[in-house]
Amino acid sequence: MSVTVDPDVAAGLDHFRTLVAGQQPVWPDAERLDSVRETLSQVPPLVVPTQLETLTDRLAAAGRGEAFLLQGGDCAETFAEANADRIRNKVRTILQMAVVLTHGASMPVVKMGRMAGQYAKPRSSTEETRDGTTLPAYRGDMVNGHAFTEEARIPDPARLLEGYNISAATLNVVRALTTGGFADLRHVHEWNRGFMTNPAYSRYERTATEIDRAIRFMSACGADFEALRTVEFFVSHEALLLDYERAMTRISSRSGLPYDASGHFLWIGERTRHIDGAHVDFLSRVSNPVGVKLGPTTSADDALALQEKLNPDGVPGRLTFITRMGASRIREALPPLVEKVTAQGGPVTWVTDPMHGNTITSDSGYKTRRLEDVLDEVRGFFEVHRALGSIPGGLHVELTGDDVTEVLGGSEEIDDAGLALRYETLVDPRLNHQQSLEMAFQVAEMLQA
Ligand code: PEP
Ligand code: MN
């Protein structure tokens, strides 16, 4: 089967090269980069168009208040941690949070990992200084190494290929876990094993018992539970490295339209969302559902222009605005955006990222966040949308399934001294498994209200 590809559409995919692209590495070896791009343009896609259509429908439902998006994962995935245990712990955390939300709010939850491609980071500073030595900043495993040596910090195009391969391997495990029986809702108790000492454990255990009872009741009534066996799970990352995203873009053999085969959902970060910039232009041309992070300095006109450029046809589910204002600012900064965007009429799915506006440095020097602030921003997000009659459509969080100590607070009361125990993130602090569950219980209550 062959479809005709509009030559303008194909040429348009490279238009971004004429525009300003923020946060791109300076690759030292242009020839090597070209050969990697060539290879990536031939590799099998990580996602296919029908999945993107399904996800667009799911996000449209979230935008109407008929579902809720749960998007979570590391700030920066690393190649070294792409192993079975870490991936399983993360997937399990997201599934447990989704169970808590679905059960608490009787709302379908769209499950999405910040996974299988979240390997490139925008940085506020291009350099990092330690003990008087200054080196280029770490930009994510897909660009350079985290080790503080001159050699490690040189961008290496081979890392793009490695990133593709590790994304593929990660996605394979995610798929095995979500369709191979592990995610069966009848195992809802088993996901909690190994967390006995966790204060959120018993609350989750009670939820699981109620779900079990409901399943047994429905089963006794003769219901068919095929739908409980598998879970629909999507992956997402920040579309930062345009050489990678462009090389991973394919033309759908069915529609003749371009789609970025690097992940289901792609977002544009706060630092690269300039309306005339390369990132917005490139993502305006692919058919994946896309998101844009909006920080506290976003004007209502910025939001309108993004909406016009990224979703000119007003397709429900195509565009998600992920607001990350900060707990102290969301109640003032969000309403003008929501009002103007709503008045314009195009559909937008509103999601809160309560992490990135609440980053602080602790007295002992750790980059951290307070769980209280994070929860307060989510509360503010619900308050604003409820007051304006718009829809709070989802939650975007940085989390890990492991017992790290990176975020302050929670019922285990991680304090400044506690951060040192297990602070492992290479970039931003993540909620640990227990803090993630606590958050899910609180958000379920907000959703119900
Ligand atoms: C991120 O999501 O890790 C990030 C850098 O976010 P933002 O673009 O909102 O600052
Ligand atoms: Mn981050």
**CB distance 241 to 215 below 8 Å:** no
* Tokens standing for residue 387: 């007051």
At residue 319, the pLDDT reads 98
pLDDT of residue 402: 93
CA distance 200 to 203: 6
Mutation probe of ligand 1 site: the residue of 238, 323, 427 with most atoms within 8 A of C-beta: 238
Ligand lying nearest the CA atom of residue 367:
2
Question: What end-to-end distance do the CA atoms of the chain give, in Å?
Answer: 51
Beta carbons of 80 and 429 less than 8 angstroms apart: no
* Cβ(347) – ligand 1 distance below 6 Å: no
| pLDDT tens by residue, 5-41 | 889 998 999 999 999 999 999 999 999 999 999 999 9
Mean pLDDT to the nearest integer, 46-74: 98
pLDDT digits (tens, 9 = 90+) for 95-148: 999 999 999 889 999 999 999 999 999 999 999 999 999 999 999 999 999 999
pLDDT above 70 (res 267): yes
Q: Whose CA is nearest to atom 4 of ligand 1?
A: 269
pLDDT of residue 207: 86
Q: Is the CB of 140 under 6 A from ligand 1?
A: no
Q: Which amino acid is residue 178, in one-letter code?
A: T
Alpha-carbon gap, residue 268 to 2, rounded angstroms: 32
Name the residue at shortest CA distance from atom 3 of ligand 1.
75
Minimum CA distance residue for ligand 1 atom 10: 270
Q: How far apart are CA 257 and CA 9, in angstroms?
A: 8
Taking residues 400-415, report their average pLDDT.
Answer: 94
Ligand nearest to the CA of 267: 1
Which ligand 1 atom is the nearest neighbour of the CA of 427? 3
Query: Does ligand 1 have an atom closer than 6 angstroms to the CB of 243?
Result: no
pLDDT tier, 403 (very low <50, low <70, confident <90, very high otherwise): very high
Question: Given 3-state DSSP classes, what are the helix, strand and coil percentages for the chain, each rounded to the nearest 5?
Answer: 45, 15, 40
Which among 346, 317, 250 is positioned nearest to 62, based on CA atoms? 317
Torsion of Cα atoms, 378 then 379 then 381 then 384, to 10°: 180
- Tell me: the pLDDT tens digits for 38-47? 999 999 999 9
Report pLDDT for 200.
73
Confidence of residue 195 (pLDDT cuts 50, 70, 90): low
Cα of 356 vs centre of ligand 1, distance in Å, is 6
What is each CA distance from 5 to 43, 51, 289, 355, in whole angstroms?
20, 21, 21, 41
Q: Please report where in the chains the tokens 């001159």 appear, as a residue.
A: 150
Output the known binding site for phosphoenolpyruvate.
Answer: 114, 270-271, 293, 324
CA of 140 to the centre of ligand 2 (A): 11
Q: Looking at residues 223-249, what average pLDDT do you find? A: 93
Tokens in use for 7? 């030559």
Neighbours of 253 (CB within 10 A): 12
Q: How remote is the CA of residue 203 from the centroid of ligand 1, in Å? A: 31
By the 8 A CB rule, do 371 and 431 touch?
yes
pLDDT averaged over every residue in the chain: 95
Q: Which residue has the tokens 């900064």?
A: 333
Q: What is the pLDDT of residues 417-439, one digit of tens each?
A: 999 999 999 999 999 999 999 99
- 442: region left, alpha or beta (phi > 0 left; psi from -120 to 50 alpha): alpha
pTM here is 0.96
Q: Which residues are annotated as a binding site for Mn(2+)?
A: 75, 356, 398, 428
Number of the ligand 1 atom closest to the C-alpha atom of 269: 8
- With a 6 Å cutoff on the Cβ, whether 270 touches ligand 1 is yes
> pLDDT, tens digit, for every residue of 270-314?
999 999 999 999 999 999 999 999 999 999 999 999 999 999 999
Q: What is the DSSP letter of 147?
A: S
Which numbered atom of ligand 1 lies nearest the CA of 396? 2
Binding-site annotation: residue ranges: 75, 114, 270-271, 293, 324, 356, 398, 428
User: Token pair 């994962």 is at which residue?
Assistant: 73
| Nearest residue (CA) to ligand 1, atom 2 | 75
